[in-house]
Amino acid sequence: MLTEDKKILIVGLGLIGGSYAQALKRKGWYVGAITRSQASIDYALAQGFIDTGTTEVSEEAVAQYDLIVFALYPNVLLKWLQTNQKYIKSGAVLTDVTGVKAKVVYKVQAMLRPDLEFVGAHPMAGREVYGVRNADCSIFNGANYIVTPTEANTEPAISEIEELGRVLGFARISRLSPERHDEMIGFLSQLTHCIAVALMTCRDVEHMSAYSGDSFRDLTRIARINDEMWSELFLLNRDTLLQQIDMFTEQMGRIRSAVAQGDSGLLRELMRLSTARRALFDK
Amino acid sequence: MLTEDKKILIVGLGLIGGSYAQALKRKGWYVGAITRSQASIDYALAQGFIDTGTTEVSEEAVAQYDLIVFALYPNVLLKWLQTNQKYIKSGAVLTDVTGVKAKVVYKVQAMLRPDLEFVGAHPMAGREVYGVRNADCSIFNGANYIVTPTEANTEPAISEIEELGRVLGFARISRLSPERHDEMIGFLSQLTHCIAVALMTCRDVEHMSAYSGDSFRDLTRIARINDEMWSELFLLNRDTLLQQIDMFTEQMGRIRSAVAQGDSGLLRELMRLSTARRALFDK
């Protein structure tokens, strides 16, 4: 149970870590932070997002916390735990915010002290801007939150991480295996980012903004992309992402053939199917 | 000049025709309508979108108008003119709202009486709903409007159709040749609709809405699509659209290779380029 006396540590005070801190502090939890930049700590303290923060990892900075949220890049998360898990209080529950799971969750669980428990989670919310100065916990309202338990997890810890999602304000909390999560996200999120980048870079678009409608703006909003984070996420989910790209490209080829052959019957059939399916996402 | 004493006829009272009527009537013009459904006329009269309307094409219904806007499917437009241009007042200026131009504008101009003038225009605004009951002229605010003159046009008539765009509330009025228009729209609008339909139909997505973030919703908003209109527009712009699909698919292939080979350098380069370019569309 995520009782109110539990102390929560956020490791990595960026857009997501900062928004977690803001939401949790507002709801009354004691929130600490560890992050690389003192300026981020100062900002979060001034805004009342955290009770305390430090740039130095030490037993003093870590050992008091019952729940630790890692809002770090996947590779940084693994290194952090290798070096610093010795400081964590026995029985603490750990979670993350990473956008890929299979390549992260099992590795973390395999290296973790047996008296700690790590439950993966993916808050499906974000913005095109970065850093704690853009933190805003309202981005979680109405969004989806996926918990990715494995056989290494216990029901109480899984429930606690689901409760965290509810406390943060997410609308739908789901459980998926890490593999199933990665397939969903490979399609719903990574493939869409590939498409946006391809659309924005496949030809010179510099003089086109006077001629665009909403559709192009919609499809390329996410073309503003954190290249360091997303390239890491793509490669951590390589095989699954390739499958999604191939499935999509094959369908584009089918549409291309229909256009080339003037097959308006097939075009209209696909359009009617897409129209019907899209309605499912407008609820 | 689009002087206030000019009478304006809207042929085709759907979402776009109805929104034109609403905007023009509000600004004080006399607006008539011809459309197939009496219910649409009744609705538009009750809402004050038009001064008069009829389902019957006749000299009486047509001959009094100085400016005629055709808000019809391209093929319907050509047939309408073949049958009914005899009723149009000498010296009248005609325009349309069609999403493709080269295959429409030259045909119309070639068949038109020499004492009439047709200037093509494309209002880049729309909604995912149809019909005059969804008409709402606020969709034009901030949107783009493209006029596609040819050598058959005169400067006064071109200016009048540009003025129409300003009166309707469009933010940016541009002039492009029909061919250049179709290339822009093939990329910015038709390709994006192909992508949305492909994304929505390339795999079973029925159980996915609990796992989607904003990106999938953004990329598929336009997957709700009028299959009759869009299949016609695609086929009227076939060669240009195929070129745009190929350019995009080639770039998706480049991204696929980078993922397959773990080439994060290339991925990051493309992401930085797309991020920089996207900023041009956020103005």
A218 contacts B222? CB cut-off 8 A? yes
3-state secondary structure of B263: coil
Mutate to test the interface with A, among B197, B203, B229 (most CBs of A within 10 A): B197
3-state secondary structure of A145: strand
Q: How much of chain A is helix, strand and coil, in % rounded to 5?
A: 55, 15, 30
B164 occurs within a structural domain? yes
pLDDT, residue B119, reads 98
Chain B residue with the nearest C-alpha to that of A266: B231
Q: Which amino acid is at B253?
A: G
Chain A positions touching B219 (Cβ under 8 A) are 192, 195-196, 218-219, 222
Q: In degrees to the nearest 10, what's the CA dihedral of A118, A120, A121, A126?
A: 110
Q: Do B255 and B133 have their domain in common? A: no
pLDDT, residue B283, reads 57
> Last residue of a domain, which of A149, A176, A203?
A176
Chain B residue with the nearest C-alpha to that of A172: B210
Structural domain boundaries, residue B212: 181-281
CB atoms within 10 A of CB B235: 18
Which residues make Cβ contacts (< 8 Å) with residue B140, sequence separation at least 6? B19, B23, B123, B125, B168, B169, B170
Please, which pLDDT band fits residue A281 given cuts at 50, 70 and 90? Answer: confident
Chain B residue with the nearest C-alpha to that of A208: B184
Chain A positions touching B199 (Cβ under 8 A) are 191-192, 195, 248, 251
Note the ipTM here.
Answer: 0.88
Q: What is the mean pLDDT of each run of 10 residues along chain B (283 residues)?
A: 96 97 98 97 98 97 98 93 98 97 96 98 85 95 95 98 97 96 96 96 88 89 92 96 98 98 98 92 71
A259 contacts B235? CB cut-off 8 A? yes
The residue assigned the tokens 């339909």 is B197
Chain A positions touching B273 (Cβ under 8 A) are 200-201
Alpha carbon distance A235, B255 (integer Å): 12
For A67-81, how does the pLDDT look when each residue is reduced to its tens digit (9 = 90+)?
999 999 888 999 999
Chain A positions touching B271 (Cβ under 8 A) are 197, 225-227, 230-231
B199 occurs within a structural domain? yes
pLDDT at A270 over 60: yes
Query: Among partner residues A187, A226, A253, which is closest to B203 by beta-carbon distance?
Result: A187
pTM of the model: 0.88
Q: Do A139 and A39 have their domain in common? A: yes
Q: Do B147 and B225 have their domain in common? A: no
Q: Which of these, A19, A21, A23, lies nearest to A33 by C-alpha position?
A: A21
**Interval A100-104 mean pLDDT:** 96
The residue assigned the tokens 């974000």 is A126
Q: Do B116 and B70 have their domain in common? A: yes
Query: Among partner residues A203, A256, A272, which is closest to B242 by beta-carbon distance?
Result: A256
pLDDT, residue A283, reads 57
Chain B positions touching A256 (Cβ under 8 A) are 194, 242, 245-246, 249
Q: Which of these, B125, B128, B70, lies nearest to B97 by C-alpha position?
A: B70
Alpha carbon distance B279, B39 (integer Å): 45
A78 occurs within a structural domain? yes
Q: Do B24 and B136 have their domain in common? A: yes
Alpha carbon distance A273, A261 (integer Å): 20
Alpha carbon distance B92, B99 (integer Å): 23
Please, which pLDDT band fits residue A209 given cuts at 50, 70 and 90? Answer: confident
Which residues make Cβ contacts (< 8 Å) with residue A81, sequence separation at least 6? A108, A111, A112
CB A103 within 8 A of CB A44: no
Alpha carbon distance A210, A213 (integer Å): 9
Long-range pairs of B85-90 with CB within 8 A, sequence gap ≥ 24: B85/B111, B85/B112, B85/B113, B85/B116, B86/B113, B87/B57, B87/B58, B87/B59, B87/B61, B87/B62, B87/B63, B88/B62, B88/B63, B88/B113, B88/B116, B89/B62, B89/B63, B89/B64, B89/B65, B90/B115, B90/B116
Chain A residue with the nearest C-alpha to that of B146: A211
Chain A residue with the nearest C-alpha to that of B172: A210
B201 contacts A251? CB cut-off 8 A? yes
Chain A positions touching B194 (Cβ under 8 A) are 252, 255-256, 259
- In whole angstroms, how far apart are CA B263 and each of A74, A240, B259, B268? 18, 16, 6, 9
Chain A positions touching B185 (Cβ under 8 A) are 211
Chain B positions touching A207 (Cβ under 8 A) are none
Both tokens of residue B218? 């953004």
Distance from CA of A18 to the nearest CA of B (A): 19
A1 occurs within a structural domain? no
Chain B residue with the nearest C-alpha to that of A276: B224
> How many contacts does A have with B, using Cβ atoms within 8 A?
295
pLDDT, residue B207, reads 84
The enclosing domain of B238 has a CATH number of: 1.10.3660.10
Task: Give the number of domains in chain B.
Answer: 2
3-state secondary structure of B153: coil
Chain A positions touching B143 (Cβ under 8 A) are 213-214
Q: How far apart are the first and last CA of chain A?
A: 31
Cite the beta strand spans of A79-212 per DSSP E: 93-96, 117-124, 144-148, 172-175
Chain B residue with the nearest C-alpha to that of A249: B249
Using CB atoms within 10 Å of the CB of residue B275, give its burial: 0 to 12 exposed, 13 to 18 middle, 19+ buried: middle
> Last residue of a domain, which of A176, A206, A223?
A176
Q: Do A190 and A114 have their domain in common? A: no
The continuous run of DSSP H or E covering A257 comes out as helix A238-260
Q: Which of these, A97, A149, A105, lies nearest to A125 by C-alpha position?
A: A97
B223 contacts A218? CB cut-off 8 A? no
The continuous run of DSSP H or E covering A255 comes out as helix A238-260
Q: Do B201 and B230 have their domain in common? A: yes
Cite the beta strand spans of chain A per DSSP E: 7-11, 30-34, 52-54, 67-70, 93-96, 117-124, 144-148, 172-175
> Last residue of a domain, which of A176, A201, A230?
A176
Q: Do B86 and B196 have their domain in common? A: no
pLDDT at A89 over 70: yes
Using CB atoms within 10 Å of the CB of residue A89, give its burial: 0 to 12 exposed, 13 to 18 middle, 19+ buried: middle
Chain B residue with the nearest C-alpha to that of A228: B268
A267 occurs within a structural domain? yes
Q: Do B163 and B190 have their domain in common? A: no
Alpha carbon distance A26, A179 (integer Å): 34
Which residues make Cβ contacts (< 8 Å) with residue A226, sequence separation at least 6? A130, B271
B2 occurs within a structural domain? no
Chain B positions touching A198 (Cβ under 8 A) are 248, 251-252, 254-255
For A128-179, how does the pLDDT look when each residue is reduced to its tens digit (9 = 90+)?
778 999 999 999 999 999 999 999 999 999 999 999 999 999 999 999 999 9
Alpha carbon distance B216, B82 (integer Å): 44
A192 contacts B215? CB cut-off 8 A? yes
Both tokens of residue A44? 């979060």
Cite the beta strand spans of A78-116 per DSSP E: 93-96
The enclosing domain of A115 has a CATH number of: 3.40.50.720
Q: Do A104 and A126 have their domain in common? A: yes
pLDDT, residue B55, reads 97
Distance from CA of A88 to the nearest CA of B (A): 32
B231 contacts A203? CB cut-off 8 A? no
Alpha carbon distance A134, A14 (integer Å): 8
Q: Do B157 and B258 have their domain in common? A: no
Pairing of the two strands B144-148 and B117-124: antiparallel
For A7-60, how does the pLDDT look when each residue is reduced to its tens digit (9 = 90+)?
999 999 999 999 999 999 999 999 999 999 999 999 999 999 999 999 999 999
Pairing of the two strands A144-148 and A67-70: unpaired
Q: Do B164 and B273 have their domain in common? A: no
